[in-house]
């Protein structure tokens, strides 16, 4: 990561928020706290899985599936599995992770409206 990028990111956030994010990152905290402070390698994954788990609990569903489409190198899928494990441990809801990829990339775009 470039030093200039880090400086720009620091400049975007108030000092107090940066300090709290650092504390949350360094300490073992709940999944909800991490989601509230965007302390995750992939914050959208964490928030999405946590919201889905909360909705399933509200509907009294004991198991959900989460999916990544376009797995590519697999880094996102591994992050999703790690996040699902953490949410599963906190919510006591079973979460199954699936990943799909065609290994061909996106199809050529075309205009459906004529």
Q: Report if pTM > 0.75.
A: no
Q: In the predicted model, what is the mean pLDDT of residues 24-48?
A: 84
Look at residue 106 and tell me whether its pLDDT is greater than 70: no
Rounded CA-CA distance 93/63 in Å is 6
How confident is the prediction for the chain on average, in pLDDT? 84
Rounded CA-CA distance 108/19 in Å is 46
Q: In the predicted model, what is the mean pLDDT of residues 31-42?
A: 84
Look at residue 57 and tell me whether its pLDDT is greater than 90: yes
Beta bridge partners of 65: 96
DSSP state of 109: P
The token duo for 56 is 């399933």
Q: Identify the weakest region by mean pLDDT among 39-43, 57-61, 78-82.
A: 39-43
């Amino acid at each position: 990561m470039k030093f200039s990028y880090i400086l720009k990111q620091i400049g975007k956030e108030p000092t107090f928020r940066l300090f709290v994010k650092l504390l949350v990152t360094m300490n073992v905290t709940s999944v909800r706290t991490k989601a509230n402070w965007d302390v995750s390698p992939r914050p959208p994954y964490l928030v999405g899985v946590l919201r889905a788990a909360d909705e399933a609990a509200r509907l009294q569903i004991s198991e959900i599936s989460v999916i990544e489409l376009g797995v590519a190198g697999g880094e996102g899928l591994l992050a999703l599995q790690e996040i699902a494990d953490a949410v599963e441990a906190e919510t006591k809801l079973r979460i199954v992770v699936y990943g799909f990829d065609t290994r061909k990339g996106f199809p050529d775009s075309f205009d459906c409206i004529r």
